[in-house]
Amino acid sequence: MAERLVLRMRRSLVEPVAESAWPTGIRPIPFEPDRHAQKVHALLVEAYSRGGGYVEPFAIWWPSLRDDSEYDPALVFIAANERDEIVGVAQCWTSAFVKDLAVAPALRRQGLGAALLSHVFRIFRDRGAPHIELKVEASNPSGALRLYRSLGFEVFESYEVS
């Protein structure tokens, strides 16, 4: 298997954080695990199907996520369309780390990823976090790296994985 370059990125939360600009017809909704976990998983599978990440099957993914010491259902941020379909998710750890960010392919490049992350920034800033981190494959095909840089993330570490 080929080596992949992973970038760890960090964004300061000390400076002001912009309000989220949600695309027309899209709104944040509270995450309800019993109602939304399978839908969030399906979105992650779809979003990562073209590269940029991997999600275990639901029977492995959900218990692993739910039982992690850094999991807090209040830190799973979801966005829905007018038909209440989940079209975006930012799943974060309590350590101010964005574990997963996914936007439905049909809604990419419309500002939803930026809106989700701006929402995340405000939540963690209000919690007193000095910065937020994430990791991304350098070869991510979805434009994620461009999005992260445009929102102020900077690479602070890189490493190869197989």
The count of domains in the chain is: 1
Contact indicator for 157, 35 with CB cutoff of 8 Å: no
pLDDT, tens digit, for every residue of 44-86?
999 888 766 788 999 999 999 999 999 999 999 999 999 999 9
pLDDT, tens digit, for every residue of 105-124?
888 889 999 999 999 999 99
- What was the pLDDT predicted at 143? 80
pLDDT, tens digit, for every residue of 131-146?
999 999 888 766 888 9
φ, ψ at 22 (rounded to 5°): -75, 135
In the predicted model, what is the mean pLDDT of residues 21-42?
96
Give the domain range for residue 119.
4-161
CATH code for position 97: 3.40.630.30
- The yes-or-no verdict on residue 91 having pLDDT over 90 is yes
Q: Closest Cα partner for 132 from 18, 15, 12?
A: 12
- 72 token code pair: 């807090």
- The yes-or-no verdict on residue 22 having pLDDT over 90 is yes
φ, ψ at 70 (rounded to 5°): -95, 0
Contact indicator for 41, 76 with CB cutoff of 8 Å: no
b vs e for 94-131, b when ≥16 Cβ sit within 10 Å of the residue's Cβ?
A: eebbbbbbbbbeebbeebbbbbbbbbbbbbbbeeebeb
- The yes-or-no verdict on residue 12 having pLDDT over 90 is yes
Provide the 3-class DSSP secondary structure of residue 112: helix
Cα separation, 26 vs 88, whole angstroms = 9
